[in-house]
Amino acid sequence: MSENGSGGRVRPARPGDPSRIGPYRIVGRLGAGGMGTVHAGVGSDGTRVAVKVVHPEQAQEPEFRARFRREVELSSRVTGPYLVPLLAADPDAETPWLATAYVPGLTLHQHLLAHGPLTGGSLYALAAATAQALAAIHTAGVVHRDVKPQNVILTPGGPRVLDFGIAHAADGTSVTRTGVMTGTPGWISPEHYRTGTTGPGSDVFAWGALLAYAATGRPPFGTGAPDVVAFRVMSGEPDLDGVPAPLRQVVGKALAKEPDARPSAAEAARMCGELLASQVTQVLPAGAVPETAVDMVTALWDVPAEADPAWHVPPERPRSKRRLVGAVVLVAAVVGGLAGGAAALMPGDTGNGERTSSATPPASPLASAGSPRPSTDTAKDDTAGGKQQAAGDDLADAATVSWGQARAARGEGEHAVASALLHDLDVLARDISPIELSPGAVKFHSSRGEVYFSYRLDAEDEHGIVYAETEIARSMCLTLNDVVLRLHPELPYRTYVTVREEEGRDPQVTWREDFVADAQCRSALEDGTDAAYDIGQDWEPDDSGLGEAMVPSTDGTEIRVADRAATKIIERTNAMRGTLGTDQVLGHDEIKVGFDPANSAMYVWSDYLMWNQGQIETWADMAAGEACRALANQRQTSGDGWPYTRYAVAEIGGSGYLMIRWGSVTSQASCST
């Protein structure tokens, strides 16, 4: 999982994120990666923890579960001053998870981007501490398998090694033609590339590369396409120019091509400890020299502490007294809470729980044509007043009438649903600024099995409206699938309805969908994306195609095209940092390009998970344009001999990769800017 140490920068939770995992209350996100999502959690005593949840797809694999369970057991035995302790885990849960202590600070990767290479005593302290951490891991019979700068946190008290031995089968993977390879290009050992096997020696090799990077700011085998980096690792010499001479000898031995020629982690820790002691005696007076290695690391550690702001932990009120919370609307407008207080007046309300009849505009194009139509029979009113009204034949009319008959939450299950919806939609509203939550936003109609959400939009362009309304529908679908089907299956609800309110107009139904039948919430995603962006229906990208694209190519032309496209997209991404709100310089570790020969498609995918939905869309638009131009340029050069005519852009999410943009290349002019 990437960038787990975020200096206290907790990102908002995303739609569908759980509110609690095990004994921990979830208050946001810390990061994510191929293995799953890292949530920010708080224990009952206020302890801050990082709760890591694996992807549901992996949780379905018995082999993965067995290995995860074994490695959790092994890792619970690993202790040391430079490790992050495992606090709790449930490998047998429906979605396996584990919790570690939260440690503040930047990762080594983030620190070098912000402050440059480590120097002096801090570099020697890093070498000794991380080698000692690996020695402790190996002594417990665990192999880390993913030693890299993103897995080392520089805390105020010294470095800490993250993610030791915890199921890295899909975390930053590089896939070969003969199988799946764990690890990240540039931090993978030669024997791992050659045979796919890993051992303690592989960790030592990655440790040597990490120290070279810490001392110089450059990966010792360079950057670029994974195939190119792999060739350098297996056949080239590391670039150690700039590594201090006393440390260079140890690093050089660690980077030997054969594992038998490398020192063990314990031997490396001993050698680095001697170098550290030499540094200490040069800096401190004789009487002040510490006696232990831990004290020596502390004495020389001179890394500036990063701001670690307090996590925003909303008060946990009793369910019966929770109130509606909106991102933009005035909370004072809410007259009653979810516990059954009087509902705030809406357009058309008479003030006594009844609604006056009115002509309702036709449903928006987003109303799902395939959705089950409401009954045209007289519907029983679900409000306390018992008012009955006949539903019309029109989908929008019928749903709007039943929305007027709906009521606030009652009982523990409905309150849990309303609370989860308000939380997730509030997060969405903060990501998509035109959305305003309405007072009394969540309502229930138990006899019809429908849950309603009303909102307002402050947007004028059609694409912005379509995108916002699609995201609202998808968020509702994901949340209801999670809360109703998993936590409260006793509830009668299976349909969600979204209602848009506008000043001076009657409420308008924008979506109605059976979230039980659409368990993957594909309807909102596909219909809305197609409506907003006119994506062709002749081909759609999928996980299988993306998996093929992750297989490093052996074709020279494909490698050159992918490398040029990735470099251009990375350059433009970094030039858009202000627009994208990116707080770090991204590179080939976060943005990659590959090919799916079977479908003649080129994929661009991002492993950076700190963008909000609007920023993801902006980035994907740019990346799609660059991918399109890369294919068009090569087609112009190679003519009919160039087989790739399709492109897709994907972004990693909490449960896998989400396809954001895709299309076909007809000419250079057909590509967006």
Instruction: Single out the residue of 407, 398, 394, 501 nearest to residue 451, CA to CA.
Output: 407
Place of tokens 């007043």: 385
Question: Angle, to 10 degrees, between the axis of helix 120-139 and the axis of helix 200-216?
Answer: 170
Q: What is the pLDDT of residues 66-102, one digit of tens each?
A: 878 877 887 787 888 899 888 999 988 888 999 998 8
Sequential DSSP letters for 184-243? -TTS--HHHHHHS---HHHHHHHHHHHHHHHHHSS-TT--S-HHHHHHHHHHSPP--TTS
Q: What is the pLDDT of residues 101-160, one digit of tens each?
A: 888 888 898 888 888 999 989 999 999 999 999 999 998 888 888 899 988 999 888 999
Sequential DSSP letters for 14-78? -TT--SEETTEEEEEEEEE-SSEEEEEEE-TT--EEEEEEE-HHHHT-HHHHHHHHHHHHHHTT-
Q: What is the pLDDT of residues 534-588, one digit of tens each?
A: 333 468 888 778 888 887 777 888 888 998 899 899 989 988 888 888 778 888 8
Three-state SS at 169: coil
The amino acid at residue 524 is A
> Taken in order 591, 578, 117, 31, is the CA torsion positive or negative?
negative
Place of tokens 């050159």: 560
What span, in angstroms and rounded, lies between the C-alpha atoms of 192 and 597? Answer: 26
Q: Decide: 280 and 302 in contact? Cβ < 8 Å.
A: no
What span, in angstroms and rounded, lies between the C-alpha atoms of 58 and 122? Answer: 39
What span, in angstroms and rounded, lies between the C-alpha atoms of 285 and 191? Answer: 45
Place of tokens 């396409």: 225
Sequential DSSP letters for 70-126? HHHHHHTT---TTB--EEEEETTSSS-EEEEE---SEEHHHHHHHH----HHHHHHH
The CA-CA-CA angle for residues 543, 546, 547, to 5°, reads 85
Beta-strand relationship, 646-653 and 601-606: parallel
Share of the chain above pLDDT 70, in %: 72
Q: What is the pLDDT of residues 506-542, one digit of tens each?
A: 888 888 888 888 765 656 544 443 333 333 346 888 8
Sequential DSSP letters for 369-435? TTSPPPPSSEEPP-STT---EE--SSHHHHHHHHHHH-B---HHHHHHHHHHHHHHHHHHHHHSTTE
More confident residue, 658 or 336: 658
State the pLDDT confidence band at 263, using cuts at 50, 70 and 90.
Answer: very high
Q: How far, in whole angstroms, is CA 290 from its chain's centroid?
A: 42
Q: What is the pLDDT of residues 447-505, one digit of tens each?
A: 899 999 988 887 665 666 776 787 788 778 878 877 787 778 889 999 999 888 887 78
pLDDT at 657: 78
What number of CA atoms fall less than 13 Å from residue 203's CA on the CB side?
26
Tell me the catalytic residues.
Answer: 146
- Whether 386 shows a pLDDT value over 60: the answer reads no
State the pLDDT confidence band at 431, using cuts at 50, 70 and 90.
Answer: low
